[in-house]
Structure 1
Amino acid sequence: MVGLYDGTDSTTEHFCGPDPLPVDNAQYCYVDNSVSWDQSFMQDGYTTGKYWVYMVIAHEWGHAVVEQNPEIEWGEPELQADCLAGAALYGGATDGLIAFGPDATKEFATDLSQIGDEASWSETNDHGDSLQRVNFFSLGKEYGVNGCLGDD
């Protein structure tokens, strides 16, 4: 895990292989198998609610799972990462490793809706539309990792 970086700091370069890490975003880097996130992305997202950070990191972790298991037919990578995020977060809650308040489900849906293909920095068909993102996250929440396997 690379973790936090400041994408606005032009004096420090942050890379995934030869590519610079994105400003105002988070990323799983397959080159060195790391997860990183821009400080401003997390701060801005946190203003919408306290579960933003959990969701973003779990989503990027989902990319790591997909990348490290190429023998599994996962389907659309971004939506599978959302599904695995739901599985990880709610699996952790079931196991008593993390606790969510009654507002968590609504907040996760709101956050996912804000970062669908409709987001200003996202390209069409990049992450799925808002409804797809919420549905895949909910699939992971309800059925765990097994619910995330297969075609979308």
Structure 2
Amino acid sequence: MRPFLTSLITAATVITAAAFSVGDGTAIAAADSGASESVAEDYHAAVDVIADYWAQQAPEMFGIDYEPPTVRGVIDPGDATACGPMPEMNAIYCPRDHSVQFGSDYLELADSIGDVIVYDVVAHEWGHAILAQVPSSLVEDPQELQAECLAGGALGDLARDGVIVVEDGDLEEVVKLFRYSDAPGDAHGTAEQQALAFAAGWRQGPAACFE
């Protein structure tokens, strides 16, 4: 195992939700086109807990009038979004209408690696929605590693609070997804950089993402 993975994998093949609650104001506006039943189940559970987490944490943490993103659901590659057609193997936060949407092919890939990956995909795009609302002086460019840190921060807090249950092997699964974008020059950073960003948030909470 590579050394950076040893520092990342401190807990946790399945994340399950122990409690569901949709944050006030979250708009869910689309069906799950192209999503299998297992993917749809994991996706909805992830949206519920991430929405509730940030509805509670963002106003106090950042001193903002938090606006949750519109959740446009699971859509197929090529389907229209306010930011253009959904790319293949992707999930996006669209700043034009402050929305998140998730490619059915990407979530199927994520779910094939492990349930936890679906949670990370949702949490990552929600991280972009958070970064769109905090002072610009706090936002890194590109945002991808910071959004991944926020994903780790949210999921780590939810695990510590018992809202999600993390089992042996879960965090290894997260790293498998990072390897898909481990390419020179990719805005998401290398697999190692993504893993370290996730781990910093996981261990220390979202505040670590702005240090």
TM-score by length of 1: 0.84
Matched, 1:30 2:95: yes
Show the 5 A alignment for 1:1-152: 1-7=71-77, 13-17=79-83, 19-75=84-140, 76-117=142-183, 124-150=185-211
CA contact (8 A) 1:74 1:148 kept: no
Aligned length: 140
1:98-148 CA-to-partner distances (Å, cap 9, x unmatched) read: 111111121112222333336xxxxx2311011100000000001111100
- Aligned pair in 2 of structure 1 residues 144, 50: CA closer, same or farther (>3 Å)? same
| Counterpart-to-counterpart distance in 2, 1:99 and 1:72 | 34
Instruction: In structure 1, list runs of 5 or more residues that go unmatched.
Output: 119-123
TM-score by length of 2: 0.62
CA contact (8 A) 1:113 1:134 kept: no
Instruction: In structure 2, list runs of 5 or more residues that go unmatched.
Output: 1-70
| Counterpart-to-counterpart distance in 1, 2:88 and 2:186 | 20
Aligned residue type for 2:193: Q
CA contact (8 A) 2:77 2:85 kept: no
| Residue in structure 1 matched with residue 9 of structure 2 by the alignment | none
1:47 Cα deviation from its structure 2 partner: 1.2
Moved more, 104-113 or 77-86: 104-113
1:71 Cα deviation from its structure 2 partner: 3.9
| Counterpart-to-counterpart distance in 1, 2:87 and 2:186 | 18
| Counterpart-to-counterpart distance in 2, 1:116 and 1:84 | 19
Aligned residue type for 2:115: K
| Counterpart-to-counterpart distance in 2, 1:117 and 1:45 | 18
Using CA pairs below 8 Å that are at least 6 residues apart, which structure has the higher relative contact order?
A: 2
| Counterpart-to-counterpart distance in 2, 1:66 and 1:116 | 23
1:72 Cα deviation from its structure 2 partner: 4.2
| Counterpart-to-counterpart distance in 2, 1:62 and 1:27 | 11
SS in 1 for 2:101: strand
| Counterpart-to-counterpart distance in 1, 2:136 and 2:117 | 31
- Aligned pair in 2 of structure 1 residues 72, 88: CA closer, same or farther (>3 Å)? farther
Higher helix share: 2
Aligned residue type for 1:53: V
1:65 Cα deviation from its structure 2 partner: 0.7
SS in 2 for 1:96: coil
